[in-house]
Chains A and B, each alone.
Chain A
Amino acid sequence: MNRNIQSVYVMWWRIMIRMIRAKGRLLGTMVQPLFFMVAFGLGLRGVGGSQLNFILPGIIAMSAIMSSVMAGIGVIWDREFGFLKEVLVAPVSRVSVIIGRAAGAITTTIVQSIWLGFIAIIMGAEIQLAGVIPALIFLILTSTLAVGIGLSFGSIIDDFENFQIVQNIIIMPMTFLSTAFISVEFAPSWLALIVKLNPFSYGIDGMRHFLTGAGSFNPALDLLVISVCAALSIIASAWFFERIEI
C-alpha cells in the first residue's frame, strides 16, 4: 500500500520537476492563452461587462481542457523514450501510476488557470471572490475529465500524429461545442442539444455559475454530471493503461 502511495507521489513529482525544467513549455502554457484573452477581451470591450464575464471563464476553461489533455502526450513520450518500461515493471498498481500522472496534469492546469484568472480580473471581468473555491472544484473536475480522456488515448495510441488527430477531431469540437463559448439560451435548438450532450458543458457552466453568477444549468446538476464523467474517464484511462504491452 505504502508503495502505491509513493508511486502516486513520485509520478506527480516527476511531472512537476519536468515542467519546471522545461522553461519554454512552461512559458508557452502561461503565455499562449493570453493571446485569446487579449483578442477576445479587448475585442469585446465595447460590448460591456456581461459579455466579458461570459467569455473570459470560457477561455480559461478552454485552456484548462487543452492543457489537461496533454497528459496523454506524456504517456506517448515515455513509451517512445523507453521510460514507460521502468514504470510498467515496477511492483506498483498501474492505477496508482495513472492517478499520479493525472494529479500532475491537474496541478499544472490549476496553476495555469489561477494565473489566467488574475489576468481576467485585470481585464475587467467581475469575479465573485466567494465563488473562487467552488469554481476551482469545478475546474479540477473539468480538468480531470480532460486528463482521463488524454490518458486513455495516450495509452491506446503509440504515436504523436495520431494523438494530434484525436486532439483535432475529438477535443477541439468538445471544447468549442460546449458552454465555453456557446450560450444554450441563445443558440439554435440543435446546437443547444449538442452542447447539452457534452459533459464539459456542465463543468464549465459550474465554474461560470460560481465565478460570475451567470450559469445556465442547475449547479447541482453541473456537479453531478461532471463528477460522474470525470470518474468514468479516469477509470477508463486506468483500464487502458493496465492493458499496455510493450
Chain B
Amino acid sequence: MQVKNLKKTYKGGITAIDDVSFNIQKGEIFGFLGPNGAGKTTTIKILTTLLRPTSGQAIVAGYDISKNSNKVRENIGIVFQEPALDDRLTGKENLDFHARLYGMNKAERKQRISEVLELVGLTQRADSLVKTYSGGMQRRLELARGLMHKPTVLFLDEPTLGLDVQTRRKIWDYILRVKDTENMTILLTTHYMEEAEKVCERIAIIDAGKILKIGTTAELIGTSCGTVLEVKTADKIKNISGVKQIKKNGERVDLVVKDEKQTTKIVKELMNNYDIIELNIRKASLEDVFVQMTGKSIREEKPQKMRARIPRGHGR
C-alpha cells in the first residue's frame, strides 16, 4: 500500500487530514495511533473508497483508489468503527449477503461461512438475529465478515472500541491467528496504546490530521525518549542536564530521559540534591512518546459512542 500526500477537506471546511503519506509492506501489520478526531477514520474511509480525497493519491492492494476503485473493493476487507450490520438478519444471513456481493458461489459461501464463524466462535449463534448479539459478538461477526472473501488487505477501524478487556484480548487473538494463516496486510487504528504496542509491527502517530512519526515501537521510543523516572518529592526539581522533559503526573513528577545511558548519572544527581520520597525507573512507553510529541495525553478523550443516533418516531 502506498499513500501519498492525502488530504481531505470536508464540506463544512474542516480539513480532517493533511499531507498524509506512508507505505505499508505486504503482510505487515501497520497501526494508526492517535486521539479522537485525529483523522484515522477519514483516512480509512478514503483508502476504502467510501470518500474521495480532496487531493493526493493512494495505491491499495496494487490498485489506484480513484482510478480503479472496483478492483480495490474486491481486494479489501473492512471492519468499520461504527457497526455496519443488519441487525434484523441473522449472523449467517449477514455473511451470506456479503458473500454474494463478493461473487462467491454456493459451495464457496457455505464452506467459508462455517469457517469464519468457527474462527470467531459464533457457530452456535449463527442463526440468531444480530440484534440479540452482545457488542462483542457483533464485533466478532463483523470481523468474520471482513475476512469472508479472503481480502489481501484488511482495514480495522478501532476494532475493539468500547469492548471489555477480555473481549478485546479475544478479538486480537483472532486477528493475529488469521493474519498468520492468510498472510494479509493489516491497517488498523486504535487509541489503545497497549494494543498498538503489542500488535503492530510499525506505527504511525497521527494527531490533528498529520502524521508525526512512523516507526516500530522500539524506534519510536528510542528516538524520543529512553527511560522515565517517576519521582515523588516535596522539592521543586530544576532542570537537570540529560532530562528531556519534566511533567507533573498527579503527586509525582515524571522525568523523561532521552538517553538511557544517562539514567544512572541523573538518579545520582537527584539523590544528592533533592529529598526523594519515592523513585521509580521504567522504560518509556508509547504513551510517553505520544505526550512528548503532541503535548497531550491520548487517554484524555473518552471513547466515542458506539451506536449511531437512533431517530425518534420511526418504526423499522
A interface vs B, CB < 8 Å? 2-3, 6-7, 9-10, 14, 17-18, 21-22, 24-25, 73, 77, 80-92, 159-160, 245-246
Prevailing SS type, chain B contact patch: loop
Given contacts A88-B50, A92-B101, contact A82 B308 (CB under 8 A): yes
- Check if B74 sits within 8 Å of A82, measured CB to CB: no
Top 8 closest pairs, chain A to chain B, by CB: A3-B103, A91-B73, A90-B101, A82-B84, A91-B74, A6-B100, A10-B100, A85-B84
Q: Enumerate 13 A-B pairs (CB-CB under 8 Å) in ascending A order.
A: A7-B101, A14-B86, A21-B88, A80-B308, A81-B87, A84-B84, A85-B80, A89-B48, A89-B50, A90-B98, A91-B74, A160-B313, A160-B314
Residue in A17, A73, A85 with the greatest tally of chain B CB atoms within 10 Å: A85
Prevailing SS type, chain A contact patch: helix
CA distance A88 to B145 in the complex (A): 15
CA distance A246 to B316 in the complex (A): 21
Interface status of B82 (Cβ within 8 A of chain A)? yes
- Check if B311 sits within 8 Å of A17, measured CB to CB: no
CB-defined contacts of A7 to chain B, threshold 8 Å: 100-101
- Check if A10 sits within 8 Å of B308, measured CB to CB: no
- Check if B73 sits within 8 Å of A89, measured CB to CB: yes
CA distance A86 to B89 in the complex (A): 14
- Check if B89 sits within 8 Å of A14, measured CB to CB: yes
CB-defined contacts of A91 to chain B, threshold 8 Å: 70-71, 73-74, 101-103
- Check if A24 sits within 8 Å of B102, measured CB to CB: no
User: Knowing that A18-B86, A22-B315 are A-B contacts, what are 4 other residue pairs whose CB atoms are under 8 Å apart, sorted by A's residue number?
Assistant: A6-B101, A80-B308, A88-B50, A246-B45
CA distance A24 to B310 in the complex (A): 19
Interface string of B294-316 (1 = CB under 8 A from A): 00000000000000111101111
- Check if B315 sits within 8 Å of A25, measured CB to CB: yes
User: In chain B, what residue has the closest Cβ to A246?
Assistant: B50
Q: How far is the CB of A15 from chain B (nearest CB, A)?
A: 11
Q: How far is the CB of A208 from chain B (nearest CB, A)?
A: 32
CA distance A91 to B101 in the complex (A): 7
- Check if B93 sits within 8 Å of A17, measured CB to CB: yes
Which one of B93, B100, B103 contacts A9 once the chains associate, using CB atoms below 8 Å? B100
- Check if B102 sits within 8 Å of A3, measured CB to CB: yes
B interface vs A, CB < 8 Å? 45, 48-52, 70-71, 73-74, 76, 78, 80, 82-89, 93, 97-98, 100-103, 145, 308-311, 313-316
CB-defined contacts of A24 to chain B, threshold 8 Å: 315
Which one of A2, A21, A22 contacts B103 once the chains associate, using CB atoms below 8 Å? A2
CA distance A155 to B213 in the complex (A): 39
Given contacts A25-B315, A77-B316, contact A86 B98 (CB under 8 A): yes
- Check if A83 sits within 8 Å of B85, measured CB to CB: yes
Q: How far is the CB of B184 from chain A (nearest CB, A)?
A: 16
CA distance A88 to B88 in the complex (A): 19
Which one of B49, B89, B103 contacts A17 once the chains associate, using CB atoms below 8 Å? B89
CB-defined contacts of B49 to chain A, threshold 8 Å: 89
User: In chain A, what residue has the closest Cβ to B74?
Assistant: A91
- Check if B93 sits within 8 Å of A83, measured CB to CB: no
CB-defined contacts of B52 to chain A, threshold 8 Å: 245
CB-defined contacts of B82 to chain A, threshold 8 Å: 82
- Check if A245 sits within 8 Å of B97, measured CB to CB: no
Which one of B74, B309, B315 contacts A80 once the chains associate, using CB atoms below 8 Å? B309
CB-defined contacts of B101 to chain A, threshold 8 Å: 3, 6-7, 10, 87, 90-92
